[in-house]
């Protein structure tokens, strides 16, 4: 059932029954508010997500029934707002999403789709969606615009499946707003070259406290993403075969499967030796505390590693890079050493080799130069160059 809404100080207020409302507070937390009488007020907090909003409304309905109050009916029961569409789309699809995906969608709904929430579904037309995306592109990256477009398109695709409409106003709209992917103003990879990587790692081991030097070296020498490196556990390290099973990633303290699925990667012997030494020390410390170790870098967050990365770059007197640039460094160094792109793809966990080549191909434009003369001007067995006869 839809309920009357009005714009409040921190968001929309839902009138469930007389004296019973659901509204967000100044932190974005959905609150069930009960005013049984003059000067009386009771509150109950539920959380900040779309699911929490629905839980708060359900709880408000139960309270109203117990108090013998009539539920407020929406003035126009045929009006379906865009926010109602969002709720149905989310509830019908959330079971197949990873926690990180849910968190990102909730952020998009909260930060970027709010101007559309209270509009009737029919008013969220192609022109309005296009204006929203064009305005967003002025302050956000092309990637963010693409994700917001995908969410709006998904919401209307669900509405079509439910029989609410036959039109998806977002269909095909992205290519009218954004340039082709290869021409978008995206953040370019900024890898270290081999010499600068050596300087950076030397400075990291000299200036950064443990375990940050090992974390950045793991990323630089394995190509793992930051979340994958922070989720490393000793059981997944095969020291004898110099391999690691990338089975988990972490983000905002939550652990889950990696972005591109589980994969086995090869490690160099030097890095494996350093990891073994770290694991032995970790086990010793944990046994002294009466616990068993599992993760290699417990309690370390992405933000702390980013800070350590900046300090390491400053200590090495190099341009500041992000942790993800260590992954780019790994890929470009391998490709420039004539390692097969298919092998690099497997190590990085890319879905296709074309993705690897699209990202890193222009960094290795000279990889075939050493054989260029041999390919174009082969020499005869006598050692004399082959002479091209005119007319042949």
CA geometry: angle 252, 286, 256, nearest 5 deg: 25
**Are the beta carbons of 122 and 76 closer than 8 angstroms?**
no
Domain architecture of the chain: domains with CATH: 5-66 (no CATH), 82-183 (1.10.150.130), 194-367 (1.10.443.10)
Residue 162: the pLDDT is 84
> What is the C-alpha to C-alpha distance for residues 342 and 349, in angstroms, rounded to an integer?
10
Q: Which of 42-56, 231-245, 358-372 has the weakest average pLDDT?
A: 358-372
For residues 184-196, average pLDDT: 78
Query: Residue 245's pLDDT band (boundaries 50, 70, 90)?
Result: very high
CA distance 108 to 127: 20
Look at residue 166 and tell me whether its pLDDT is greater than 90: no
Tens of pLDDT, residue by residue over 255-289, are 888 888 889 999 999 999 999 999 999 888 877 76
CA atoms within 13 A on the CB side of 112: 24
13-29: average pLDDT:
89
How many Cα neighbours within 13 Å face the side chain of 109? 25
What pLDDT score does 169 carry?
93
Res 382: pLDDT: 46
pLDDT of residue 255: 86
Mean pLDDT score, 328-349: 90
Instruction: Sort 85 into a burial class: Cβ within 10 Å, 0-12 / 13-18 / 19+.
Output: buried
Question: What confidence score (pLDDT) does residue 223 get?
Answer: 93
111 within 8 A of 75, measured Cβ to Cβ = no
Provide the mean pLDDT of the chain: 85
**pLDDT tens-place string over residues 88-97:** 999 889 888 8
Q: Output the pLDDT for position 379.
A: 64
Cα-trace Rg, the chain: 28
């Amino acid at each position: 059932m839809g309920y009357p809404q009005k714009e409040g100080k921190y968001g929309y207020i839902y009138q469930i029954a007389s004296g019973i409302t659901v509204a967000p507070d100044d932190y974005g937390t959905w609150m069930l508010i009960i005013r049984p009488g003059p000067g009386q007020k009771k509150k109950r907090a539920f959380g900040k997500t779309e699911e929490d909003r629905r839980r708060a409304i359900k709880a408000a309905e139960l309270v109203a029934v117990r108090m013998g109050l009539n539920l407020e009916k929406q003035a126009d029961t045929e009006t379906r707002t865009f926010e109602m569409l969002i709720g149905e789309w989310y509830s019908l699809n959330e079971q197949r999403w990873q926690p990180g995906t849910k968190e990102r969608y909730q952020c998009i709904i909260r930060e970027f789709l709010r101007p559309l929430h209270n509009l009737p579904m029919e008013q969220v037309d192609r022109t309005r969606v296009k204006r929203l995306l064009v305005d967003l592109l002025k302050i956000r990256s092309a990637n963010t615009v693409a994700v917001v477009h995908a969410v709006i398109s998904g919401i209307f695709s669900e509405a079509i499946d439910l029989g609410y409409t036959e039109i998806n106003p977002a269909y095909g709209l992205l290519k009218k707003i954004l340039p082709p992917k290869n021409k978008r103003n995206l953040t370019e990879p900024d890898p270290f070259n081999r010499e600068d990587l050596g300087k950076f790692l030397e400075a990291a081991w000299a200036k950064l406290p443990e375990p940050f030097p090992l974390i950045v070296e793991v990323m630089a020498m394995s190509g793992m993403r930051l979340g994958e490196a922070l989720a490393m556990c000793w059981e997944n390290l095969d020291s004898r075969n110099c391999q690691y099973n990338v089975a988990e990633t972490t983000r905002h303290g939550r652990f889950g499967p990696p972005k591109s699925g589980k994969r086995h990667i090869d490690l160099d012997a030097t890095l494996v030796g350093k990891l073994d030494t770290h694991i032995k020390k970790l086990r010793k410390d944990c046994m002294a505390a009466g616990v068993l170790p599992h993760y290699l870098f417990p309690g370390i967050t992405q933000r702390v590693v980013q800070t350590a990365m900046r300090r390491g770059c400053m200590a090495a007197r190099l341009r500041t890079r992000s942790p993800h640039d260590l992954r780019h460094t790994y890929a470009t160094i391998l490709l420039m050493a004539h390692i097969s792109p298919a092998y690099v793809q497997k190590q990085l966990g890319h879905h296709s080799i074309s993705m690897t080549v699209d990202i890193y191909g222009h960094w290795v434009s000279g990889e075939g130069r050493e054989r260029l003369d041999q390919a174009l001007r082969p020499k005869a067995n006598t050692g004399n160059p082959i002479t091209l006869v005119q007319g042949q």
